Structure 1
Amino acid sequence: MEAALIATPPLPSSEREKDAATTCETITLSVPDIVCGSCIRIIETALQSVRGVTAARANLALRRVTVMVRRQGDDIHPDASDLVSSLRRVGYTAAELIEGMDTAASRNRTGELIPRLGVAGFAAANIMLLSVSVWSGEVSDMDNSVRDLFHWVSALIALPAIAYAGQPFFRSALAALKAHRLNMDVPISLGVLLATGMSLFQTIRGSEQVYFDAATTLVFFLLIGRALDESMRVRARGAAENLLSLRAMTATVVSEDGTAKSLSARALTPGMRVMVAAGERIPGDGNVITGTSEIDESLITGETVPRTVAVGSHVHAGTVNGGGALLISITSSDENTLLAEIGRLMTAAEQSRGRYVRLADRAARFYAPAVHILGLLTFASWMIMGSGWELSLTHAIAVLIITCPCALALAVPAVQVAAMSRLFGRGIIVKAADGLERMSEVDCVVFDKTGTLTLAQITLIEDQSVDRAVLSRAASLAITSRHPYAQALVRSARDRHIAIEAIEDVQEVPGCGLSHVENDVEERLGSAQWVGANVDQNPEASLWYSSRDGELTGFRFIDQIRPDARETVQNLRSAGYQIELLSGDRPGAVERAASACEISQWRAALRPSEKLTRIGDLRAEGRKPLMVGDGLNDAPALAAGFASISPASAVDISQATADAVFQGDRLGSVIETMMVAQAARQMALQNFAIAIGYNLVFVPIAMLGHVTPLVAALAMSTSSIVVTANAVRLRTKKLRLKPARSAQ
């Protein structure tokens, strides 16, 4: 039997980690006040200091925090309210994340910014008209009293406008200062208030120059940048949130007497029967009782071709019924559906932190202290040069405004979310950001055969004579496993209407197969070596059964090569990637698959330990292998690979141990994942260059006095918008596979 029949691995640790005494529970908080990299450090430090918190990860792009807390029995210590209180003490408002709340909060934030933006724009335009009049009057000898009047009118417009329009920045800065910390809005608010205060002082003195036009225009541009940034964040919103927003809200429940009533989809329980009309979304996972239809599963699998379903077919929540009405018996609902499980995996992936994110976070932490020091140095330097406090303060204000950590803090998270969203749209789920980063660096690809190069729908060859009683007993063992050969045996027994018994205490032995002991007598199902069979007796057999009386039966199967397997291998090879095929199947079957896919380097009849050894050898040679295996029986090799990806049926998604899983029949998903990973790496580096280059160029220019506060505001807003827009571009960018590094 190819590789191993192994026990199903536990849920990923990002969801729930268990030990003998406690479990870890995930609590996700929405924190709308996250504005910069220093916020991430403060929030994570505050939460990690709470007793019972094992980990905390803040995400700037999504404005949320994922916290792992210990759970004792039914009690969670600490709970969400404790975490919210700890964040309130350091100046952040937070709430436990509720589905749709982030989207609603984003709309509220945008709705709050728009009227403030209008007021700031109105004030800036009118004050600019007055300023132009004053500038013209200087040429035409305007009377000083008229000039002072215009200055006072400008002050009357500017002061209430700035007080109202600048509140988003002032509130954030005040909350930070009350908590004895600094964030991005502190220097921004300081710059606005200094410009306004200096202008008011100059107006009272009757000076020729005031800066109300700069102060109001500054707030106007800052609000434009904040509004556009909010819009970009919504566009870069995680695939998980977009996915869960498409769930059915209500369901038509049909009772035993045939009456129907509408019920919330959340209230569905296993065993309920629901009627789904054409065009409706299926409200829960379940089995079709009556009806035939075509189901659009693109939301789950990325496949655009509808799947035909009939009585007995399993369907999933969120998919669309495209044909006739279906009566479905619910098996899972709400948070227990496949849709919810995929959402949890996607959320965990989007909030995971790769090495580039950690680098950006560390750099952004030094922003607030550095910008205040630079502003002070600018003011002191210009004062020493005898420029006067007004000009010195103006240049210092420009420095305070122009330095922006947002571009750096958003450089990688925005790319990460966009990449995972694109992959999810093609039926590929990446489980961690560091896995995506590693996939961008692979230089060789190692394939498993069964269920990887070939489709998982293996069939038992019908021309072999197998005793019905033997097939019944073997299928009764096989039904406890998800291995393709085991499932094929079960399907064959059912197709022949052979009874399958429920056998308890069946053990799966990694690398071997299945075993059942009763009254000290053992029966086995698995590889020839596991059951003690002589392969010469039936060289084409891939699965063997050893009965309780010692009789051996070999089963021969046929499996179909994936439609695009050969094309995928050719594309990888032409790009310079080394290709290998490692299989536990018999040599004849492996040779046929290798020949069909034009793979020259192949090995057959390998145990999991031998696959592991080969992966280790490749890494010892300096290679970075991508292991492509079925995710259930190739766990050691998948874990040993530099990166890994698994083809997985819907029920296997949460159990697969690979960095990523893909659904559907297309092996080209492997290349798609590699291309997106390579593009994401390139865009992350581009964003780093933009963010760092911006600060290296504009900060010295501002310190030298060549940038006004108005231009500084425009430049600061533009930098974060450019970085986020570059990341969003990944969703639609046409990609190509880059040559392997060893081939360059």
Structure 2
Amino acid sequence: MSALTRLSADELLLASREIDAGLRQTDLSVPGISCGGCIHKIEEALGKLPGVTRARVNLSTKRVAVDWRETEGPPPLGEALTGLGYDGFLYEAREDAKDPQLVRLIRALAVAGFASLNIMGLSISVWSGAADEIRNLFHWLSAAIALPTLAYSGRVFFKSAWQALRHGQTNMDVPISIGVLLAFAMSLYDTILRQPHAYFDAAVSLLFFLLIGRTLDHVMREKARSAVKGLGRLAAYGATVVTPNGRRTYLSTEELEPGMTILLRAGDRIPVDAIVLHGRSDIDASLATGESVPEPVAPGAALRAGTLNLTGPLTIHATAASKDSFLAEMMRLMEAAEGGRAHFRRVADRAARLYAPVVHSAAFLSFLGWMLATGDWHHAATIAVAVLIITCPCALGLAVPMVQVVAARALFEHGIMVKDGSAMERLVEIDTVIFDKTGTLTLGHPGLRRDITVDEAPLAIAARIGSHSHHPYAKALAAAVLPADIAFDTVAEHAGLGLEARIGKDVWRLGRGEWALDEAFVQSGTGTVLACNGKFVQSFAFEDELRAGAVAAIRTLRGHGYALEIMSGDTPAAVLPVAEELGIERVQARLLPQEKTAHLQVLAKTGHKALMVGDGMNDAPALVAAHVSITPGSAADVGRQAADFVFLRSDLESVPFTISIARKADRLIRQNFAFAALYNVVAVPAATGGYVTPLAAALAMSGSSILVVANALRLSPRWARREQSEGVL
């Protein structure tokens, strides 16, 4: 039975959308559509259902759009399709897929951890003196546990190693795979021959420790790739289109083409770049400009895809397809910038370039030397396995992700979330800090300026009128003073212009001066004014309050030699006072997203590495393109997803604090690598000299990993709080 036949009429109604007065549209997915005959059969059958005015089939997308009259209720679409032999489902435009690689890593890690604990338990019994039949039984039990564990958990490394070898190359997974497989093979051989020693525990423990590092590394990397997906969610699912014959239909955004006439309601996102044909409204254009104040639009105004229609209905003319729109361009900018991040290799990746050939050479020379010296291939192979195991890069693999995890915890204690672990490495390298203004240096919520004389009585009247609107300026007035106790007869909002309130014969207007005032009084006030019967009463000015800690953060960063800039989409009149108050001399205003990205690229080409601190949706490409980026928790979703760090507290001093943690983490990572190098300098000669068994090699390898983890734990929240109290950067 089709999924649609089990849906109630209410569910079909909720899944539909209004395209005209009394007319709704439902989109269905019908996977069985395969030819022109299917199209004709389905359109004819659905078109005969009660209330259906039109049914259209799209063969390429296997989608059916059905228009039906709301007064007659949802038609029995599921039953009709089932009767034709088709399965139908409600069409879903987007689905968020899980990360299959992360699921595989977590399952592999869980299996390896469980198996490692069990085999270690059996090994303890052997170490404690179990002999003969009991020892052999425990060895066979260990083999029975290790074999499926290697087959399941080890494929993470085996697959990578095999792909490298097939192309005549090598990587870190090659010696890991050889060491694990040889340890198991030698142990199985010795178990069959009833030898006293087997090293199944060494093989499985290797996998467990390595999978910890691989999983942590994958989580950090994937978090950095979510920004483009988040920006894509800002795209409208579709829009109501007026066809040349005057009919209304709903099309997905991908189906919209230049030249189409589109109807928008208040609250709709602009689906594609367009020009206003009819209507007036206010547009939230912060995605494009970063400007916190809504932008009034009228016929002839240009609209960018992804911006939000706030207050009034609009009829617009599409000027670009979705793939060529402003939002698509922003996504391409972010994808290009994220692709550039591949050049920032992890410290572990750089250190591992010589690892595989050195380890292979050491193991081979050990086997060859002992074979020539003793003629005992078993003893020579055992020593070669010990060399591979003792040099397996558990400490190397944990050196970076463990410090990053502990550093992330220290930052979390201070209300700072880490989106990308490698960003801590990059944060240490910066020499320039660039700030957005609105929502970053300032709170992004306009408030009434009190340094300008404002009479309380007109302000109270304006507050009463403003309480009827969600416009930021109206809300600021309503919050500035107790509203006057006036009951207006009517209050109406004129999109893009302001509010009009009537009481008796008096008409009060609050909004744009050229609209609120008669021609004779237009020069009396500019900006937002209050007028009665066209006569000027009071004008109001607004300002954005500095974020807490902004002054202290700028002072700290300047004191440590960082170059400071402001790069904003706001007007120069809004940006310059903030720059002057903070003492920042390098200022750029009215920048579009691509201009911000271009400036960062110029800085990078001249050898500068910039930290971008921004919050707006228009900052997202710049946040990705910067060497490293930080955004406040109040930022737009796309900004939070694009940034490497997110600080949840309102205090801007989180920026220098994050830098201090990154510097400490950098020192600990370098210490871990120094220890790993020293460990190998001592361990490799000992193993090649025959002084280390595979079991002792596994214990040494585990011990080195534990020491690396212990060193990472030195970066504790307690240390972070002490650094903060001492004012250390």
TM-score (structure 2 length as normaliser)? 0.50
The one-letter code sitting in structure 1 at the alignment partner of 2:146 is F
Aligned residues: 480
1:413 to 401, 407, 423: 401
1:643 to 619, 628, 634: 628
The one-letter code sitting in structure 1 at the alignment partner of 2:440 is T
What is the alpha-carbon distance in structure 2 between the residues aligned to residue 403 and residue 74 of structure 1?
51
The one-letter code sitting in structure 1 at the alignment partner of 2:399 is A
Partner-residue secondary structure (3-state), 2:719: coil
Give the alignment of 1:690-729 within 5 angstroms: 690-691=675-676, 694-695=679-680, 697-729=682-714
- For residue 132 of structure 1, what is the aligned residue in structure 2? none
- For residue 134 of structure 2, what is the aligned residue in structure 1? 157
1:122 to 102, 125, 147: 125
- For residue 379 of structure 1, what is the aligned residue in structure 2? 367
| Maintained 8 Å contact 1:444/1:623 | yes
1:459 to 433, 436, 447: 447
2:377 to 366, 389, 411: 389
What is the alpha-carbon distance in structure 1 between the residues aligned to residue 629 and residue 680 of structure 2?
38
Partner-residue secondary structure (3-state), 1:730: coil
Give the alignment of 1:38-437 within 5 angstroms: 74=92, 113-126=116-129, 154-174=131-151, 184=176, 187-188=179-180, 190-191=182-183, 193-194=185-186, 197-198=189-190, 201=193, 212=196, 215=197, 218-219=199-200, 360=348, 375-437=363-425
What is the alpha-carbon distance in structure 1 between the residues aligned to residue 416 and residue 120 of structure 2?
40
What is the alpha-carbon distance in structure 2 between the residues aligned to residue 591 and residue 77 of structure 1?
44
- For residue 576 of structure 1, what is the aligned residue in structure 2? 561
What is the alpha-carbon distance in structure 1 between the residues aligned to residue 710 and residue 492 of structure 2?
58
Per the alignment, do residues 652 and 623 of structure 1 end up closer, same or farther by CA in structure 2, a change over 3 Å counting? same
| Maintained 8 Å contact 2:119/2:200 | no
1:671 is aligned to 2:661: no
| Maintained 8 Å contact 1:680/1:730 | yes
Per the alignment, do residues 235 and 503 of structure 1 end up closer, same or farther by CA in structure 2, a change over 3 Å counting? same
Per the alignment, do residues 377 and 622 of structure 1 end up closer, same or farther by CA in structure 2, a change over 3 Å counting? closer
Cα deviation for residue 366 of structure 1 reads: 9.5
What is the alpha-carbon distance in structure 2 between the residues aligned to residue 119 and residue 595 of structure 1?
71
Cα deviation for residue 670 of structure 1 reads: 0.7
Cα deviation for residue 119 of structure 1 reads: 2.3
What is the alpha-carbon distance in structure 2 between the residues aligned to residue 219 and residue 625 of structure 1?
49
Percent of matched pairs sharing the same residue = 33
Cα deviation for residue 424 of structure 1 reads: 3.5
What is the alpha-carbon distance in structure 1 between the residues aligned to residue 598 and residue 213 of structure 2?
46
Cα deviation for residue 121 of structure 1 reads: 0.6
2:585 to 576, 594, 601: 601
Cα deviation for residue 455 of structure 1 reads: 3.8
Cα deviation for residue 231 of structure 1 reads: 9.2
Per the alignment, do residues 602 and 392 of structure 1 end up closer, same or farther by CA in structure 2, a change over 3 Å counting? closer
The one-letter code sitting in structure 1 at the alignment partner of 2:402 is A
1:628 is aligned to 2:613: yes
Per the alignment, do residues 576 and 371 of structure 1 end up closer, same or farther by CA in structure 2, a change over 3 Å counting? closer
Partner-residue secondary structure (3-state), 2:715: helix
The one-letter code sitting in structure 2 at the alignment partner of 1:464 is V
Cα deviation for residue 186 of structure 1 reads: 5.6
| Maintained 8 Å contact 1:226/1:717 | no
Cα deviation for residue 677 of structure 1 reads: 2.9
What is the alpha-carbon distance in structure 2 between the residues aligned to residue 96 and residue 394 of structure 1?
32
- For residue 254 of structure 1, what is the aligned residue in structure 2? none
Greater RCO (Cα-Cα under 8 Å, separation 6 or more): 1
| Maintained 8 Å contact 1:646/1:658 | yes
Cα deviation for residue 572 of structure 1 reads: 1.8
| Maintained 8 Å contact 1:478/1:487 | yes
The one-letter code sitting in structure 2 at the alignment partner of 1:627 is M
What is the alpha-carbon distance in structure 2 between the residues aligned to residue 354 and residue 112 of structure 1?
35
Cα RMSD after superposing both structures: 5.9
| Maintained 8 Å contact 1:187/1:401 | yes
The one-letter code sitting in structure 1 at the alignment partner of 2:180 is I
| Maintained 8 Å contact 1:542/1:556 | yes
What is the alpha-carbon distance in structure 2 between the residues aligned to residue 406 and residue 238 of structure 1?
18
Per the alignment, do residues 713 and 658 of structure 1 end up closer, same or farther by CA in structure 2, a change over 3 Å counting? closer
What is the alpha-carbon distance in structure 2 between the residues aligned to residue 659 and residue 232 of structure 1?
20
CA deviation map 1:616-670 (0-9, x unaligned): 7755653323233342465576566443323342765766754433232211111
What is the alpha-carbon distance in structure 2 between the residues aligned to residue 113 and residue 616 of structure 1?
49
CA deviation map 1:667-712 (0-9, x unaligned): 1111122223333444444444444554455334422333333321
| Maintained 8 Å contact 1:117/1:220 | yes
| Maintained 8 Å contact 1:542/1:557 | no
What is the alpha-carbon distance in structure 1 between the residues aligned to residue 411 and residue 93 of structure 2?
37
Cα deviation for residue 124 of structure 1 reads: 1.0
| Maintained 8 Å contact 1:225/1:718 | no
| Maintained 8 Å contact 1:222/1:717 | no
| Maintained 8 Å contact 2:633/2:640 | no
Partner-residue secondary structure (3-state), 1:622: coil
| Maintained 8 Å contact 1:543/1:555 | yes
The one-letter code sitting in structure 2 at the alignment partner of 1:669 is S
Cα deviation for residue 95 of structure 1 reads: 6.0
Cα deviation for residue 370 of structure 1 reads: 7.8
Per the alignment, do residues 615 and 551 of structure 1 end up closer, same or farther by CA in structure 2, a change over 3 Å counting? farther
What is the alpha-carbon distance in structure 1 between the residues aligned to residue 531 and residue 601 of structure 2?
34
Cα deviation for residue 394 of structure 1 reads: 3.4
Cα deviation for residue 161 of structure 1 reads: 1.4
2:647 to 654, 662, 667: 662
Cα deviation for residue 604 of structure 1 reads: 8.2
What is the alpha-carbon distance in structure 2 between the residues aligned to residue 500 and residue 385 of structure 1?
100
Partner-residue secondary structure (3-state), 2:607: coil
| Maintained 8 Å contact 1:404/1:695 | no
What is the alpha-carbon distance in structure 2 between the residues aligned to residue 177 and residue 580 of structure 1?
49
Per the alignment, do residues 622 and 403 of structure 1 end up closer, same or farther by CA in structure 2, a change over 3 Å counting? closer
Cα deviation for residue 550 of structure 1 reads: 14
What is the alpha-carbon distance in structure 2 between the residues aligned to residue 662 and residue 167 of structure 1?
49
Per the alignment, do residues 374 and 614 of structure 1 end up closer, same or farther by CA in structure 2, a change over 3 Å counting? closer
1:443 is aligned to 2:431: yes
Per the alignment, do residues 427 and 546 of structure 1 end up closer, same or farther by CA in structure 2, a change over 3 Å counting? farther
- For residue 347 of structure 1, what is the aligned residue in structure 2? none
Per the alignment, do residues 524 and 372 of structure 1 end up closer, same or farther by CA in structure 2, a change over 3 Å counting? farther
The one-letter code sitting in structure 1 at the alignment partner of 2:649 is G
| Maintained 8 Å contact 1:236/1:417 | no
* Pair member with larger Rg: 2
The one-letter code sitting in structure 2 at the alignment partner of 1:678 is R
Cα deviation for residue 185 of structure 1 reads: 6.2
What is the alpha-carbon distance in structure 2 between the residues aligned to residue 166 and residue 220 of structure 1?
9
Partner-residue secondary structure (3-state), 1:459: strand
What is the alpha-carbon distance in structure 2 between the residues aligned to residue 386 and residue 573 of structure 1?
67
> Tell me, which stretches of 5 or more residues in structure 1 are unaligned?
1-21, 23-71, 88-93, 128-153, 204-210, 242-351, 507-513, 517-522, 529-535, 738-742
| Maintained 8 Å contact 1:354/1:437 | no
What is the alpha-carbon distance in structure 2 between the residues aligned to residue 544 and residue 589 of structure 1?
19
| Maintained 8 Å contact 2:347/2:400 | no
What is the alpha-carbon distance in structure 1 between the residues aligned to residue 623 and residue 591 of structure 2?
14
